[in-house]
Structure 1
Amino acid sequence: MIQNARVLKENWVPQELHHREGHLQHLSAQLKPLAHGLGAETVMITGSSGTGKTTIANYIVRQLDQEVLGIRWGYVNCISETSMSAIVYSLVRDAGRANDLRKKGTPTSTMFDRLRDLDDHFVGIVDEVDVLDDEQTIQALWEIPNVTLVLICVDEDDFFADLDSRVASRIRGATKVVLERYHHDELVDILWSRIDAALATGVVDEEAVETIADIAAGDARHAITLLRRSVRDAVEHGDETLTVDNVQPVREEAREEIHERHVDTLGTHQRHLYEIIKEAGEIRASELHRRYEVRVADPRVKSTRRKYLQSLEHYELIESTGSTRDRRYRYSEP
C-alpha cells in the first residue's frame, strides 16, 4: 500500500501547494528583489492552525534558494526557542556559521555579527513570533541590511498588542499574507495529492477521503495526521483498501497526536503554565500566576506569560473564560 511514507508526514513540503497559488505569487513578488541582489521587505504570514503558514513559508524560501545564487535561509520556532540568544543562534546555525559557537555562553552580539558578515543575503523565517520573550529580537534582526524576515503568527492583533511602539511602527509596514482555513473541496484535493504521491494506485476509497476532510474541518494538519493514522490502521489490519472503517477508529488517536505534538514544542515557561493548568483542571488566573512564580526560579513578566497563554489557547491546549480580572483557565482534553 505505502510507496513513500515521507509524504504522509506533516512536515513534508510538497512540490506543488494546492489552493495557495495566489498567496505564493504574492510572496514570490515581494521576495523577487533578492534575485537581483537587493533587499526585500519584511513579510508577515498569519492564519489559524492548519492553514499552511509554515509550509508556504518554507516552500517559497526553498524555491528561492534553488533558483538564486547568494541566498541562505534559516527557520526558528519561538515556541521552542524563546530567548533572543536561542533564536539568533538557531538562525546562525542554519546559515552555516555556528560551528564554533555555543548556544549558551556566546555573546548575542557575536551571533548578530555572524549574520551581518555573511556575503550572502539571509532570509530568516521566524515562526510563532507573537510569543517572543524579547521583542527587541525582531528589531535587531530587522536592522541588519542583508537580512530579510518572514514572520509567522496566528493573529496579527495579538502580536502587535504588546509590541513596543517603535518596533511596531517598523513591522506594521510588512507585506501581509492572510491564510484562511481550507474549504472542504480544497482539503480533499490536498489529501488526494498526498495519497497519489505516497500510496499505490486505487487503494483508497473516495468516501474515506471525504470523511477525513469532514472531520478535519479545514485544518490541513489535522487532515494529514488523520490520513497517516488511517493508513497505519489499514496496514496493521492487512486491508487492501483504506475505507471509512479505517478512519473512524483512529479519530481520537489523531487528535491526541496533534495535542502531544504541540506540547512537545513548548519551551520551559510555556510548559510550566500548561502543566499547572493541566494538574488543576481549571484554575483562576491569579492562582495560576502565583503557582507559576513559586515553581519557576526566573519567572517571565506577566505580559510575556499572557502571550504564552494565548498561544496555548490558539493550539487548543487550554481554554479561557471570563474577563481579564476574573479570567479562568481550563485544560483542554485532546
Structure 2
Amino acid sequence: MITDARVLQPEFIPREVQHRDAEVNYLSSVLIPITEGQRADPALLHGPSGAGKTCIAQFLVEQLREEVVSLNYQYVNCWEDHSRFKTLYRLLDGIGRTIDVHRQSTPKDVLLERLRKADETPYVVILDEVDQLEDKSLLYDLYRIPHLTMILISNDEEELFAAVDDRLNSRLADCERIRFRSYWEGELVAILSDRVRWGLTDGVIDTPRLELIAANAGGDARVAIGILRRSARKAKNESVDEITADIIQEETPEAKSEIKQKTIDRLTTDQELLYNIITEHGEITPQNLYETYCATASDPKTKRMVRNYLSKLEHYNLIRAEGNTKARIYRTRA
C-alpha cells in the first residue's frame, strides 16, 4: 500500500507545490539578487501553523541551488536551537566550519567572527520559529554579514517585532513580509492527492475520503498529512485494500495527538513549565499563573517574555485564552 513512506512525512519537500503561487512568486522575486552575486533582503514568512511556510522556503532554496551551484544553505529550527551559541553553531556547521569548535569553551563571539569571514560564497539561512530565539540581537548581527541572506519564519509578525529592540527594528524595516493563510479544504485535497500519487498504490483512497481528511484537518497541512500517514499505516497493518472512512475517523484524533505531543516535546523549559501549570490548574488567571511560575522556575523571565511564551502556546493550539486582559483565563486545549 505504501510505496514511498518519505512523502507521507511532514518534512518532505515536494517536487511541486500546490496553491501557493502568489507566495512562491513573491519569495522568488525577493531572492533574485542571489542569482546576480548579491545578497537578498531578508524575508519574513508569517502565518498559522501548517500553512506551508517552511515547505515553500525550502522548496525555493532548493530550486535556487540548482541555478547557483556555489550557494551555501542551512535550515535552523530555532525552537530546537534557540540559544545564540546553538544557532551560530548550526550556521557554521552548514559550511563545515565547526571542526575545532568546543561547545563548552569556544566563545560565541569567535563563532560570529568565523561566520563573517566565511564569505567565499553566498549563504542563505532559513531561521524557522525565529521568535523562539533567546537572543534576538543575533538577527542584527546576522543582518550585518554581507554574504548572508536570511529567510525568517514565524507565526506572528507583530509579536516577533514587538520582542526586538529599536535598532533591530530599523534594520529589518526593509524585510519583505509574506503572509500565509490557512489552507482551504479543496486545497488540502489537492496537496493530499499529490502525496497519494507519489507514496501510495493506486485505488487505496478516493476523493470523498480525501475530502474527509481535509475537513478533519482544520486548514492545517501537517494535520492532514498526519491523518493520511496514520490511516495508510493502519490499513496496511490490518491488511485491508483501501483506506476507509472508519479508519480515517479513528486515526484523526491520534494524528492530532501525535502532532500535539511533538510540539510539547519541543517546548523550552519555561514554556513547558507554563503549560504544565495551566494543565494542572485546569484554568488560571494571568496573575496567578505568573506568580506560580515565578515560585517554580529556577530563573523566572519577565512578564513580557512570559506573555510571548503564552502567545506561542496559543499559536500551537496547546492552550486558549478567554476574556479580555483584565478578566483573562488560560485553559489547556483537549
- Asked if structure 2 preserves the Cα contact closer than 8 Å seen for 1:131 and 1:307, the reply is no
Residue 270 of structure 1 deviates from its aligned partner by: 1.6
* Aligned twin of 2:272: 271
Residue 295 of structure 1 deviates from its aligned partner by: 2.3
* Aligned twin of 1:320: 321
Q: Matches of 2:288 and 2:96 in 1, distance apart?
A: 45
For normalisation by structure 2, the TM-score amounts to 0.95
* Aligned twin of 1:66: 66
Distance 1:149 1:181, change over 3 A: same
* Aligned twin of 2:10: 10
* Aligned twin of 1:176: 177
Q: Matches of 1:146 and 1:104 in 2, distance apart?
A: 28
Residue 104 of structure 1 deviates from its aligned partner by: 4.1
Instruction: In structure 2, give the amino acid aligned to 1:175.
Output: E
* Aligned twin of 2:263: 262
Gaps of 5+ in 2: none
Q: Matches of 1:281 and 1:79 in 2, distance apart?
A: 26
Q: Matches of 2:79 and 2:309 in 1, distance apart?
A: 8
* Aligned twin of 2:33: 33
- The CA RMSD over aligned residues, in Å, is 1.6
Identity %: 39
Deviations 1:231-254 (CA, angstroms, capped at 9, x unpaired):
112112111011212201111101
Residue 13 of structure 1 deviates from its aligned partner by: 0.7
Q: Matches of 1:32 and 1:80 in 2, distance apart?
A: 30
Q: Matches of 2:106 and 2:270 in 1, distance apart?
A: 22
Question: Greater shift after overlay, 40-49 or 18-27?
Answer: 18-27
Aligned length: 333
Instruction: In structure 1, give the amino acid aligned to 2:160.
Output: F
Q: Matches of 2:281 and 2:73 in 1, distance apart?
A: 42
Question: Greater shift after overlay, 39-48 or 106-115?
Answer: 106-115
Q: Matches of 1:200 and 1:316 in 2, distance apart?
A: 34
Distance 1:104 1:56, change over 3 A: farther
* Aligned twin of 1:223: 224
Residue 36 of structure 1 deviates from its aligned partner by: 1.9
Deviations 1:71-124 (CA, angstroms, capped at 9, x unpaired):
112122222232222222222222321232133442111111222111122111
Distance 1:20 1:61, change over 3 A: same
* Aligned twin of 2:128: 127
- Asked if structure 2 preserves the Cα contact closer than 8 Å seen for 1:4 and 1:197, the reply is yes
Q: Matches of 1:10 and 1:217 in 2, distance apart?
A: 16
Instruction: In structure 2, give the amino acid aligned to 1:63.
Output: Q
Instruction: In structure 2, give the amino acid aligned to 1:136.
Output: S
- Asked if structure 1 preserves the Cα contact closer than 8 Å seen for 2:137 and 2:164, the reply is no
Q: Matches of 1:88 and 1:272 in 2, distance apart?
A: 26
Residue 269 of structure 1 deviates from its aligned partner by: 1.9
Secondary structure, in 3 states, of the residue corresponding to 2:174? coil
Gaps of 5+ in 1: none
Matches within 5 A, 1:119-268: 119-268=120-269
* Aligned twin of 1:288: 289
Q: Matches of 1:60 and 1:232 in 2, distance apart?
A: 30
Q: Matches of 1:322 and 1:79 in 2, distance apart?
A: 28
Question: Greater shift after overlay, 142-151 or 18-27?
Answer: 18-27
Residue 326 of structure 1 deviates from its aligned partner by: 4.0
For normalisation by structure 1, the TM-score amounts to 0.95
